[in-house]
């Protein structure tokens, strides 16, 4: 265990956690909503510090990050736990584990071990992913500091419910972040056990602090696929920066959300076309390889710049961050 960051002692051995936007009030002997931060004698502890359940080498495109060192490898790590309760979580076996069982599984690993493993694997970055990285913040933060010293980039794949003080703390070492923007406020309350506004606040603050951002929306039939919801998401992205890449991904039934089929391809393509027509510069379809919506095109001349098939890049015509045909600057972190 490790003493947690971002909490306040309130007396009577009660504490209030500010790591994420839930601001849990935690009595002695109890855990927060994430189920991995526990109050022991009036001191809040992280139960997942260095307790990794997953360490893998992934293509950066899997995060998905399409404008961040394309074709590079990322060393991906995760613990159990999450501060959301998404009914459609594809990694529910690790995200919801601490809510179902009292033990905290995982291999004890140090930040130095993680960074050295990333170096040996030739990874350009470390990704804190598979579940919400905010809940293992103390470990992610120490890994990110050490990786930064070694010239390795750091990436969050996040639900965006990070507390604003925690955002400011990690941003100095965070190079990229793919944040889910899942739907409207009703969707967050009904499906995720959260609220929309803190996610919007995190996205805006990450952008202000210079972290490269991409946004993902998993489109679920009858839940968040309405024209009103899609246009609301587009409105927000445009208000922050139209150069933020937006990934619209196909849902498939999983966990507790089994009442809807896979998202029709026409729904994804319509969302992509609407986003592009309204002014988002880069919009991608996800989980439907080979349909053409994964490619990067120059927003000025329309030239095909990066051709993808799933996580595989078959050609890349961006050089020095510019389109080779018209020399338009292409937004991203290209190395």
pLDDT tens, position by position, for the chain (335 residues)? 899 999 999 989 999 999 999 999 999 999 999 999 999 999 999 999 999 999 999 999 999 999 999 999 999 999 999 999 999 999 999 999 999 998 999 999 999 999 999 999 999 999 999 999 999 999 999 999 999 999 999 999 999 999 999 999 999 999 999 999 999 999 999 999 999 999 999 999 999 999 999 999 999 999 999 999 999 999 999 999 999 999 999 999 999 999 999 999 999 999 999 999 999 999 999 999 999 899 999 999 999 999 999 999 999 999 999 999 999 999 999 98
Q: Do 42 and 55 share a domain, yes or no?
A: no
* 329 is a domain residue: no
The pLDDT of residue 83 is 98
317 located within any domain: no
Q: Rounded to the nearest 5°, which phi and psi values hold at 325?
A: -85, -50
Q: Which of 288, 241, 282 is nearest to 67 (CA)?
A: 282
- Could you tell me if 28 and 80 lie in one domain? no
Structure tokens at 193: 């056990």
Same domain, 121 and 168: yes
- Provide the 3-class DSSP secondary structure of residue 230: helix
Residues 57 and 37 in one domain: no
Task: Classify each residue of 21-32 as buried b or exposed e, where b means 16 or more C-beta atoms within 10 Å of its C-beta.
Answer: bbebebeeeebb
**Cα(213)–Cα(204) distance, integer angstroms:** 10
Task: Quote the crossing angle between the two packed helices 197-208 and 227-240, to the nearest 10°.
Answer: 30
Domain count, the chain: 2
Q: What's the whole-model pTM score?
A: 0.97
Instruction: Examine residue 324 and state whether it is found in any structural domain, yes or no.
Output: no
In terms of DSSP bridges, do strands 176-180 and 212-219 run parallel, antiparallel, or are they unpaired? parallel
Domain that holds residue 173: 51-298
**In 53-165, where do the E strands start and end?**
54-59, 73-78, 107-108, 125-128, 153-158
- pLDDT at res. 335: 83
CATH number at residue 157: 3.20.20.70
Q: Which two tokens stand for residue 321?
A: 């961050």
Tokens of residue 334, six digits: 């290209």
**182 lies in the same domain as 61:** yes
Task: Decide: helix, strand or coil at residue 265.
Answer: helix
Residues 219 and 272 in one domain: yes
Q: Residue 305 domain-assigned? A: no
Regarding whether 155 and 18 lie in a shared domain, the answer is no
Mind giving me the DSSP string for 24-59? -EE-TT-B-TTSSEEEETTEEEES-TTEESEEEEEE
Q: Where are the alpha helices (DSSP H) in 133-182?
A: 137-149, 164-171
Same domain, 277 and 264: yes
> Are 36 and 75 part of one and the same domain?
no
Are residues 67 and 35 located together in one domain of the fold?
Answer: no
């Amino acid at each position: 265990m490790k003493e947690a960051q971002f909490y306040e002692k309130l007396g009577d051995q009660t504490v209030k956690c500010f790591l994420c936007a839930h601001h849990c009030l935690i009595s002695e002997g109890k855990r927060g909503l994430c189920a991995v931060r526990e109050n022991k004698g009036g001191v809040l502890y992280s139960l997942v510090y260095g307790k990794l359940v997953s360490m893998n080498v992934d293509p950066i495109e899997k995060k998905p990050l399409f404008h961040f060192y394309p074709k590079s490898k990322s060393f991906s790590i995760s613990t159990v736990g999450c501060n959301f309760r998404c009914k459609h979580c594809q990694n529910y076996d690790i995200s919801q584990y601490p809510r179902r069982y009292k033990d905290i599984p995982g291999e004890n690993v140090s930040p130095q071990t993680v960074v050295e493993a990333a170096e040996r694997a030739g990874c350009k970055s470390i990704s804190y992913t598979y579940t919400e990285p905010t809940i293992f913040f103390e470990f992610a933060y120490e890994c990110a500091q050490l990786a930064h010293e070694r010239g390795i980039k750091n990436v969050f794949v996040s639900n965006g419910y990070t507390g604003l003080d925690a955002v400011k703390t990690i941003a100095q070492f965070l190079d990229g972040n793919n944040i889910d923007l899942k739907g409207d406020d009703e969707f967050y309350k009904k499906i995720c056990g959260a609220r929309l506004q803190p996610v919007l606040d995190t996205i805006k603050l990450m952008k202000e602090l210079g972290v490269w951002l991409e946004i993902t929306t998993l489109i679920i039939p009858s839940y968040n696929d309405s024209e009103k919801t899609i246009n609301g998401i587009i409105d927000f992205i445009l208000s922050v920066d139209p150069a933020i890449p937006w990934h619209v991904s196909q849902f498939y039934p999983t966990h507790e959300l089994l009442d809807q089929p896979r998202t029709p391809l026409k729904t994804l393509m319509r969302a992509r076309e609407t986003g592009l027509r309204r002014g988002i510069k880069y919009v991608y379809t996800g989980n439907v390889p080979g349909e053409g919506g994964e490619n990067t095109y120059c927003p000025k001349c329309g030239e095909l710049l990066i051709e993808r098939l799933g996580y595989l890049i078959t050609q890349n015509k961006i050089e020095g961050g510019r389109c080779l045909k018209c020399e338009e600057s292409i937004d991203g972190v290209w190395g």
